[in-house]
Amino acid sequence: MGSTPVSRTEQRRRTQDRILVAARKLFAEHGYDRTTIRAIAAEAKADPGLVMRYFESKEKLFARIAVVDRQEALGGSPEQVAELLLAALGAKVTAEPAGALAVVRSMFTHPESAKEVREAMLAEQHQAADAISGEDADLRTALIGALTLGTVIGRYLLGLDGLRDASPEKITALLRQPFHSILHGDPEPDPSERPQ
């Protein structure tokens, strides 16, 4: 009994997956500047031409690994969007996102990679803003993105006391109310402006 032949589409998907795994590993280990397309291809056991064909450039490949692919599209009520974003944050603080951290480190030293990552993050932000609507939806989703990025950097790059060793459940529990408040657009009034 022979094995079932693999379609070209499936072969392509498998090759792309191998390239993404190799890129995450090498960018995390060596940073953006010292990681080459040839090294990624060798790690993935793929032709360097395929890396360029599938991802176009090193910058675009770098951006692709910077943004975690969402299992679910962002949509629904602000409550549902908040919970999806909290789940994504929970995943990031459960297991160290080595590829994403390499991206963050490299963004500060390589402007082209930062441009591609920014575009990928903006696309995700706009998707969330479209889901929650409102005139300041872009600001609210940007604040959620900043909280998420700050939490990941504080936990893994800075090793902030408390945050470094906190359970993912505790982190998301403490951020649940702020995420919901921001996505609902319910700002707290300035205490100095409250009537005495």
Q: Are residues 15 and 71 in the same domain?
A: no
CATH number of the domain where residue 114 is located: 1.10.357
pLDDT at 99: 62
Q: Does 21 lie in the same domain as 106?
A: no
Map tokens 């951290």 to a residue.
Answer: 101
Q: What is the domain range of residue 44?
A: 8-65
Question: By three-state DSSP, how is residue 144 classified?
Answer: helix
- Based on the fold, state whether residues 103 and 131 are members of the same structural domain: yes
Count of domains observed in the chain: 2
Same domain? 117 vs 149: yes
Tokens of 149: 């990025």
Residues 126 and 169 in one domain: yes
98 and 177, same domain (yes or no): yes
Are 86 and 172 part of one and the same domain? yes
Say how far apart CA 121 and CA 92 lie, in whole Å: 15
172: which residues sit within 8 A by CB, 6+ positions away?
A: 86, 87, 89, 90, 93
- Closest listed residue to residue 58, CA positions, set 112, 131, 139: 112
Q: Are 170 and 115 members of one domain? A: yes
Tell me whether residue 3 is in a domain.
Answer: no
Q: What is the CATH classification number for the domain harbouring 45?
A: 1.10.10.60
Which of 65, 80, 113 delimits the end of a domain?
65
Nearest Cα to 149, choosing from 97, 110, 193, 186?
A: 97
Looking at residue 194, its pLDDT comes to: 67
Classify residue 134 as left (phi > 0), alpha (psi -120 to 50) or beta: left
Asked if the structure places residue 114 within a domain, the reply is yes
195 within domain boundaries:
no
User: Is the full-model pTM beyond 0.85?
Assistant: no
CB atoms under 10 Å from CB of 81, counted, come to 24
Q: Rounded distance, CA 36 to CA 22, Å?
A: 11
| pLDDT tens, the chain, 196 aa long | 556 777 889 899 999 999 998 988 888 778 778 889 999 999 999 999 999 999 999 888 887 776 654 445 666 778 888 888 898 889 888 877 666 666 666 667 776 666 766 776 787 788 888 888 788 989 999 999 899 889 988 998 889 999 999 999 999 999 999 999 998 887 777 777 766 6
Q: Are residues 60 and 156 in the same domain?
A: no
d(CA 83, CA 105): 28
Q: Clarify whether residues 137 and 157 are in a common domain.
A: yes
Boundary (domain end) residue, out of 65, 87, 112: 65
